[in-house]
Amino acid sequence: MTPNSTALLMMNMTVCPTCGSGKIKKVQRKWIRMFQDKTYSVPRLEFHECPVCGEKVYDRDAMRKIEAHSPAFARAAPPSLRGI
């Protein structure tokens, strides 16, 4: 999948890619994740969330915010850490 087609998909996110529910919607809330024993959070992150299956979909801006707050991206992470 090319970056362009991904961005297009995100902008038109009306159906959950996981369960097919049309209830997926854009939400804005504090986003918290664990990375190796450390917790990091992104305040007021906008992303799409499916209330049916819990799937979360992040657009390009959301990904950028997550990366900006993530210790995994604070420095050039070795390839072995990328898959976590």
**Which member of 53, 57, 59, 73 binds Zn ion (CB under 5 A)?**
53
Q: How far is CA 35 from the centre of its chain?
A: 14
3-state secondary structure of 68: helix
From the number of C-beta atoms within 10 Å of its C-beta (0-12, 13-18, 19+), residue 69 rates as middle
According to CB under 5 A, which one of 50, 62, 65, 66 is a site residue for Zn ion? 50
Segment near Zn ion (CB under 5 A); pick from 7-15, 43-51, 56-64, 71-79: 43-51
Residue numbers at the binding site for Zn ion (CB under 5 A): 16, 18-19, 21, 50, 52-53, 55
